[in-house]
Amino acid sequence: MHRFYKTISVILHPLVVPTIGVILYFLIVPNTYDSNQKLALLGLIFVTTYLVPTLILILFKKLKLINTFKTQNIEERKIPVALMVVVFYLLANTIASKTNMLDISLLFYATSAALTFIYLCFAYQLKLSIHLLSLGISTSFFILLGFIYSYSFPTVVMINILLAGFVANARLHLKAHTAKEVYLGFLVGFIAPFAVYSFL
């Protein structure tokens, strides 16, 4: 069972969820983007949200700034999270200024804002779950799109909620977080897209 929970945590890692979310967006949300635009954006997102963070973690491990890739304590998380706040913000800015894909830019502005909140919580010794944060963002992003387009995506929302439940159980079983950190992580992620949309 322990291995099963570890597998869930890896498959639904926060570095993977943004790319999955954008693929789902292209598949189910009505849009006029051609295949070249979609592939170019997916490539940019995959490099920015998966490859760059992975390389950063490898570098930090070599420099002994972190002990493991899991960044289990708050001190080890501070610099990676701060860097990701900047990376996601720059990605959102790039998408907003270079394309007309404003929905996608909203997703990454929301992620940057949510990670900023995560960073601020470090001062209170709270290590909110970034796994649940990413699934909270994904859940509310598709709910928000339903409001914007007057077309609901119940299946995607329900699957997101179910996956969040599985991942929350896994993170608690692995003792990676407390129950408060898991629930708050999802809540912060869930609120972020709506909060950012109200300001844009």
Whole-number pLDDT of residue 123? 92
pLDDT at 70 over 70: no
Report the candidate in 107, 8, 101, 99 with the shortest Cα–Cα distance to residue 49: 107
Reported pTM? 0.91
The pLDDT value given to residue 64: 75
pLDDT value for 150: 82
d(Cα 157, Cα 176) in Å, to the nearest integer? 25
Placement of tokens 């789902």 in the chain? 24
Please state the rounded mean pLDDT for residues 187-199: 95
- CA contacts within 13 A on the Cβ side of 120: 8
Residue 15's pLDDT is 87
Q: How many CB atoms lie within 10 A of CB 188?
A: 22
Residues 155-173 pLDDT 10s = 999 999 999 999 999 999 8
- Identify the band that residue 110 occupies on the pLDDT scale cut at 50, 70 and 90: very high
Q: What is the mean pLDDT of the chain?
A: 89
Burial label for 135, CB within 10 Å (0-12, 13-18, 19+), is: buried
Name the pLDDT band for 131 (thresholds 50, 70, 90): very high
pLDDT, one tens digit per residue, over 133-155 is 999 999 999 999 998 888 888 99
Residues in the chain: 200
pLDDT tops 80 at residue 83? yes
Residue 134 confidence (pLDDT) = 96
Yes or no: say if 57 and 80 are a contact pair by the CB < 8 Å rule: yes
The predicted-structure confidence for 6-55, as pLDDT tens digits, reads as follows 888 888 888 899 999 999 999 988 878 888 989 999 999 999 999 988 88
